[in-house]
Amino acid sequence: MPLHQAAVGSQWWKSGVIYQIYPRSFADANNDGMGDLPGITQRLPKLKELGVDAVWLSPFYTSPQKDAGYDVANYRDVDPLFGTLEDFDQMVDRAHELGLRVMIDLVPNHSSDQHVWFQNALNSEKGSKERSYYHFKDGKGENGELPPNNWQSMFGGPAWTRIEDGQWYCHLFDSSQPDLNWENQIVRDEFEDILKFWLDRGVDGFRVDQPHAMGKEPGLPDHPYVDEAGAGFIEGRENPPMWFQDSVHEIFRSWRKILESYPGERAMCGEAYVLPLSFMAQWVRSDEFHQTFNFRFLDAGWDKDTLVAAIDESFEAFDGVGAPSTWVLNNHDVMRHASRFGGDYGRTTASDGVGPENPQPNNELGIIKARAATLFMLALPGASYLYQGEELGLPEHTTIQPEFRQDPTFFRTSGQRVGRDGCRVPLPWEDGNESNGFNESGKSWLPQPQSYAALSRDSQETDSKSTLNLYKAALKLRADLALGEGSFDWVSTSESLSFVNNGILVVHNFSNESIPFPDGEVLLTSSYGQTRLLPNTTAWIRL
Ligand code: NOJ
């Protein structure tokens, strides 16, 4: 019996390829240097051409942009930076016309401090109903001058900020992102209504931000091992009081019911950083999330043993609850894989970012490995997530100067952790003006590195060996061969790593020597024109 059996009666989200659009950096129609919804609408045909099934948009809601839009001030409107609700509707219509589904980001763990609820809370008394929408507490110490507990912010520094009347509020991220109190029924009702607002506008689903942080242990006790884990957790140790609380599951169940009450196959994907995957599997039981991001796979780097273990663990955990495994190598929070695989970057460095002062990646090696990793990933059964720009093989921008930095991590750590700006740089569409076709004005909210000109989409379209054309070929074959819905079995784990899916042998050469191609028809390789399979190369072979 194969390790993973082919899906029966597959729904789109079980095997689809979902492309993450980071609206700030995708395409800028009004030339102000910031991407926008009309820019997305204009360029959607290019994504159809690429061959993806769906797009997921990072936040475009009304926001002071303290965390690039993950600080939402109004969940039912579009920030003028990105356009209007009408622009949103046009974007969804265009996507649907092209046969692309649209998922949007939902940010329920925290709002912006500019949200009317938080402003009202600030203007209300201690213990008031208004304050109960968030976690307000008195401090410790003689005059309440110490934070209520030892929790740390994911972006550095304490997770508490004191307000004028002496109380403190909790924020697991930036101080401009107060955590909502999900014990409060009004908060729950409001979010159900927000879901319906967007489902009524035709969205096909949601990517849910930080769902594993929404529940907090009653009484908000100290993090038991904060000195070792900081804001986070250590796998295998007890759950800290701000992560993975059981109370969240009934919230997801109520959301799933709402999604299922709509026609079509609406789906939600949780950004649940929950490990091990046997634990994450509880989040994708048949009445909760449809899927979660597979961070085990993303974090595996390109190390053979870790990768094998991650894939085994994924199928075991997700098949156990009848959920699809998902696969992902990039997003807007980690160093791009074309650079990450060109250096020795662990999980922490990958999300803390690499700046001019840090060891620089070998991007020549990085792109070779990245192309191979993508080919390997796109042959795995399940859903795959791509992040804008990876289809161009874009490297991380690792030399952004301090004056351009925007990530709150940079500011909260006084530059010690440069943050995630390097993977968020505007896309090069056409080699030409200063922003390489991101817009006509040449303006750009983050500067592009020089290398982006040669990697612009138009120059890659005409180059048969380009990364763009490799992605296109892989996505087309994946669809033709139904690999997303396929089965999985390892073939060997010696010098090469191979598996079979629907009669296609996928082989990656992990050794330092070239090896003969296995017997069969070579359909696609991550590096071209060779008679043997080079090191760091993946091939798809029809048996
Ligand atoms: C996860 C998002 O992907 C990240 O960009 C954001 O900073 C945090 N959640 C907080 O919303």
d(CA 446, CA 400): 8
Residues 94, 199: one domain? yes
Residues 466, 529: one domain? no
Amino acid identity, residue 316?
Answer: E
The answer as to whether 478 is a domain residue is no
Q: How far is CA 373 from CA 340, 378, 398, 410, 537, in A?
A: 12, 9, 21, 30, 8
Please identify, by atom number, the ligand 1 atom nearest to the C-alpha of residue 420: 5
Has residue 9 got a pLDDT over 90? no
What pLDDT sits at residue 121? Answer: 98
The answer as to whether 168 is a domain residue is no
Residues 386, 497: one domain? no
Please list the residues that pair with 509 across neighbouring strands. 496
> Can you read off the two tokens belonging to residue 345?
């970057």
The answer as to whether 149 is a domain residue is no
Q: Is the sign of the CA dihedral 270, 272, 277, 278 positive or negative?
A: negative
Has residue 313 got a pLDDT over 80? yes
Active site residue 192: no
Residue nearest to atom 10 of ligand 1 (CA): 70
3-state secondary structure 140-184: ECCCCCECCCCCECCCCCECEEECCCCCEEECCCCCCCCEECCCC
Residues 428, 351: one domain? yes
What pLDDT sits at residue 373? Answer: 98
Which residue bears the tokens 């296609």? 504
**The domain containing residue 518 runs over which residues?**
488-542
Residues 374, 513: one domain? no
Active site residue 209: yes
Å from CA of 209 to ligand 1 middle: 7
Residues 500, 408: one domain? no
The answer as to whether 122 is a domain residue is no
Residues 364, 430: one domain? yes
pTM over 0.95: yes
What pLDDT sits at residue 103? Answer: 98
Overall number of domains in the chain: 2
The answer as to whether 143 is a domain residue is no
d(CA 48, CA 42): 12
Which residue bears the tokens 């700006």? 421
Residues 350, 424: one domain? yes
Q: Is 234 helix (H, G, I), strand (E, B) or coil?
A: coil
Q: Report residue 118: phi and psi, to 5°.
A: -70, -40
Under the banding of pLDDT at 50, 70 and 90, the label for residue 493 is low
The answer as to whether 178 is a domain residue is no
Under the banding of pLDDT at 50, 70 and 90, the label for residue 14 is very high
Q: For the domain that residue 511 is a member of, what is the CATH number?
A: 2.60.40
List all residues whose CB is within 6 A of at least one atom of ligand 1. Answer: 67, 70, 107, 173, 209-210, 271, 332-333
What pLDDT sits at residue 347? Answer: 82
Residues 309, 403: one domain? yes
Burial 42-57 (b: 16+ CB within 10 A, else e): ebbeebeebbbbbbbb
The answer as to whether 135 is a domain residue is no
The answer as to whether 32 is a domain residue is yes
Q: How far is CA 104 from CA 40, 201, 224, 469, in A?
A: 13, 11, 35, 27
